[in-house]
Structure 1
Amino acid sequence: MDFQEAAEHRDLRDTVRAIAGKFGPDYYVPRAEAGEPTAELWAELGRNGFLGINLPEEYGGGGAGLAELAMVCEETAAAGCPLLLLMVSAAISGEMISDYGTTEQKQHWLPRMASGEAKVVFGITEPDAGSNTHRLSTVAVRDGDDFVLNGTKHYISGVDEAEAVLLVTRTGRDETTGRARLSLFLVPTDTPGFVATRLPVSAKLPEKQFVLHFDDLRLPASALIGEEGNGFHQVFHGLNPERITGAAVCVGIARHVLGQAADYASTRAVWDVPIGQHQGIAHPLAKAKIETDLAALMTAKAAWQHDHGEPAGEAANVAKYAAAEAAAAAVDAAIQTHGGNGFATEYGLLPYWGIARLLQVAPVSREMVLNYVSQHSLGLPRSY
């Protein structure tokens, strides 16, 4: 085991951090407060080749792996600019189109996703299904050479910024088990029958949330990604990258707020000494730093396993759990360090609390990760 980071990875981190640092919290926080997209930063990352770093070179990508994309996610967040759509468009959609798309689909979508010209978001969540994908009610039915879709999706991120949604649908049931057969479709957001309604949330994020309705939405068979009815395998192959990049975003958030809190604690003096001299301030920050470093190690392990074709489900779940917990604890410690200033817009901490707290719920909740580890790692009876 070699824990020395490769020179090219150090260079990658330095370059991404330099690009995102030109924007920083002074750019990100007002957009998060206003719910405005971070379009300028996204375009800059695309121009420099970082949005498609994990995509194949023949389609305009960097030819690297998920490990490198996770570094991009971490370093942008560490510079104060966490980007949820890196987890969605670059990780889930990019990886699934690369792995399962036709040559024509790859040629049409991947180069423009890599350049930042196009985003493809992901639609799986439904109000009555929760984490149970077998209960999805959005249905795609064959009609001649087409498919006709009907159904609803909730909490779909970034639809207003996207050119298409990678949509998970039910296209039948297994005759033996009765479980749903899933299929994935690339659905352009301007397709007739596609209705997106803003879903207001109180968390301060640049990325908006939407409810999607499909009313006899007609798609050609060429919109199908991969094999009809084999979407369950495809979806879970794509969810590991989302969890790994989500963990990387959380590690970056924790690094950013801990750096800000340490600076504040070193310069803010009460009773003639810096407040960071007191263990009541120093220890929570130190604890959060330790938890962040541990989460970063598991995130790196999960990305390595994915890139080397090894089963990455356990490590991806553990990384996402550990990193989300670390980020939430780090933001809480940073707010506490700032005292009343922790709630002041000037210091810009609350948007980071919102995204860290969100990532304890999504893309998979803490409880479902604990269920996974209980069952698959410890061999305990399934509890749900």
Structure 2
Amino acid sequence: MEFSTNPDHEALRKAVADICDGFGPQWYVEHAERREPTTQLWETLGKHGYIGINIPEEHGGGGAGLTELAIVVEESAARGTPLLLLLVASAISAEVIATYGSDEQKAHWLPRLADGSGKVVFAITEPDAGSNSHQLSTTASKDGDQWVLTGQKYYISGVDEADAILVVARTGTDEATGRGRLSLFIVDTDAPGLEKTPLPVSVTLPDKQFTLHFDDVRLPADRLVGTEGDGLRQVFRGLNPERITGAALCVGIGRHVLAQASAYANTREVWGTPIGTHQGVSHALAKAKIEVELAALMTARAAWLHDQGMPAGEASNMAKYAAAEAALAATDAAIQTHGGNGLATEYGLLPYWGLARLLRIAPVNREMVLNFVAQNSLGLPRSY
């Protein structure tokens, strides 16, 4: 890793910031309050080549790596316009299809993912499985030259905005372990037999959540991604990038709310001096700043490891943990700095708090990260 300023990365940050500044935090908060997708920003970033910056050039992408995608994610969030679906469409789906997809799948989906004209979201979570992916109950069984998909998924983001869903399903059982053999399928969002039910949440976000019911959804054989039964390994090609971009999103949120809180603390006066003069305010913001910067370093390391083809699971989990904690603490400090105004719609902080709080749970909750580190980094006995 290089710690000196990379001119290309600085130029990328500026270009993304310039686009996002044309929309701004007020625009984002209004969309979040109305639960309306941020489609215009997505399409603008896509038109300039930033949505698919990590997709190979031969498929219309930027040919860069996860490091560059993480910069796009972070910088857009730092300008007050976080894009949650970058974590699924650009990080998970694009990475998985680019790595394991057939030539036909790559030719059909990657150019649309690259220019922002299409989205492929991701469906793994189930009501009764949670973090235990081995116990997924959604099944895909062969029927002649087709697959028949049956089951349920929930908390699936952005289905209303997507053309297709990358679905994880059980296609068999490992006789030795009893665990499910998993496979990946691309399912059109308008496929017959697919029922999409909005799942209301109280978090103020522009992105909607859905419960999905697959009632004997028939898929052509060419909708299988990669190798049958090898889905879990293929999924992890996307889950590490999802953790890394999730961390980048949190770093960006932290940067945005701290910038807003610092500006407020420099101008708001109560006892004849700006409130930022008082250590009760300044120390909380300084502590949050340190934590956000530390998380940014871990996020950069995780992205670098991934791009080098080196094991990135430990770093990805640590980055996601650190960044979510830092973003939540930074947002809380920003709200506290604003006092009662921290809860006012005019100042628009609560949507960022809600998103940071969500990312403390998803895409993997902090407790499962701690389990991972305890077991894999410290060699402690498995606890679950």
Q: Corresponding residue for 1:302?
A: 302
Q: Deviation per CA, 1:338-378, whole angstroms, max 9, x where unpaired? A: 00000000000000000000000000000000000000000
> In the alignment, what sits opposite 1:181?
181
**SS of 2:370 mapped into structure 1:** helix
Letter in 1 for 2:206: P
Give the Cα–Cα distance (whole angstroms) in 2 for the partners of residues 143 and 357 of structure 1. 43
What is the 5 A alignment of 1:203-282?
A: 203-282=203-282
The C-alpha deviation readout for 1:69-128, integer Å capped at 9, x for no partner, is 000000000000111100010000000000000010000000011111100000000010
SS at 2:382 equivalent: coil
Partner of 1:368: 368
Instruction: Provide the TM-score with structure 2 as the length reference.
Output: 0.99
Matched residues in 1 for 2:127 and 2:283: separation?
A: 41
- Cα offset for 1:299? 0.1
Alignment of 1:135-174 (within 5 A): 135-174=135-174
| Length-normalised TM-score, structure 1 | 0.99
Measure the CA separation in 1 of the matches of 2:289 and 2:81: 19
Aligned mates of 2:375, 2:5 — CA distance in 1: 34
Q: What aligned pairs does 1:106-125 form with structure 2 within 5 A after superposition?
A: 106-125=106-125
Aligned positions of 1:188-207 closer than 5 A: 188-207=188-207
Alignment match, 1:328: 328
What is the CA deviation profile of residues 228-271 of structure 1, one whole-angstrom value per residue up to 9, with x for unaligned ones?
00001001121000000000000000000000000000000011
The Cα of 1:278 is off from its aligned counterpart by: 0.1
Shift of 1:177: 1.4
After alignment, is 335-344 or 174-183 more displaced?
174-183
Residue 128 of structure 1: aligned partner:
128
Aligned counterparts of 2:49 and 2:116: Cα–Cα separation in 1: 9
The within-5 A match list for 1:28-177 is: 28-177=28-177
Q: Give the equivalent residue in structure 2 for 1:14.
A: 14
Secondary structure of the structure 2 residue equivalent to 1:2: coil
Task: For 2:162, give the aligned amino acid.
Answer: A
* Partner-residue secondary structure (3-state), 1:210: strand
**How far apart, in 1, do the equivalents of 2:225 and 2:284 lie?**
47
Structure 1 alignment gaps of length 5 or more: none
Matches of 2:366 and 2:35 in 1, distance apart?
26
Q: Secondary structure of 1:269's match?
A: coil
Stretches of structure 2 that go unaligned for 5 or more consecutive residues are none
CA distance in 2, matches of 1:328, 1:176: 42
CA distance in 2, matches of 1:271, 1:62: 53
Instruction: Provide Cα deviations, 1:152-180, integer angstroms capped at 9, x if missing partner.
Output: 00100000000000000000011211111
Distance in 2 of aligned mates of 1:309 and 1:2: 17
Alpha-carbon shift at residue 6 of structure 1 (Å): 1.0
3-state DSSP of counterpart to 1:185: strand
CA distance in 1, matches of 2:75, 2:175: 47
SS at match of 1:148: strand
- Which amino acid is 2:242 matched to? E
Residue identity opposite 1:377 in structure 2: S
Q: Aligned pair count?
A: 384
Deviation string for 1:22-76 (max 9, x for gaps)? 1111110010111100011001000000011000000000000000000000000
Large movers: runs of 4+ above 3 Å:
none
Aligned equivalents of 1:351, 1:235: Cα separation in 2? 30
The whole-number CA distance in structure 1 between the counterparts of 2:244 and 2:24 is: 23
Distance 2:62 2:306 in 1: 17
The amino acid across from 2:326 in the alignment is A
Q: Distance between the aligned counterparts of 2:39 and 2:134, measured in 1? A: 36
Equivalent residue letter for 2:288:
A
Q: Distance in 1 between matches of 2:76 and 2:24?
A: 9
Separation (CA, whole Å) in 1 of partners of 2:344 and 2:237: 41
- Show the counterpart of 1:319: 319
Q: Secondary structure at the match of 1:359?
A: helix
Deviations 1:305-335 (A, max 9, x none): 0000000000000000000000000000000
Could you tell me which residue of structure 1 aligns to residue 350 of structure 2?
A: 350
1:134 partner amino acid: H
Q: 1 CA distance for matches of 2:373 and 2:295?
A: 16
What CA distance in whole angstroms lies between the structure 2 residues aligned with 1:379 and 1:177? Answer: 22
For the aligned residues, what is the CA RMSD?
A: 0.5
CA positional deviation for 1:5: 2.3
Give the aligned residue type for 1:66. L
Please state whether the residue corresponding to 1:306 is helix, strand or coil.
helix
1:279-290 equivalent positions in 2, closer than 5 A: 279-290=279-290
CA distance in 2, matches of 1:232, 1:172: 12
Deviations 1:283-302 (A, max 9, x none): 01000000000000000000
What is the letter of the counterpart of residue 248 of structure 1? Answer: A
Measure the CA separation in 2 of the matches of 1:325 and 1:271.
Answer: 32
Structure-2 separation of matches of 1:33 and 1:269: 29
Q: Secondary structure at the match of 2:184?
A: strand
Q: Secondary structure at the match of 1:195?
A: strand
SS of 1:270's equivalent?
Answer: coil
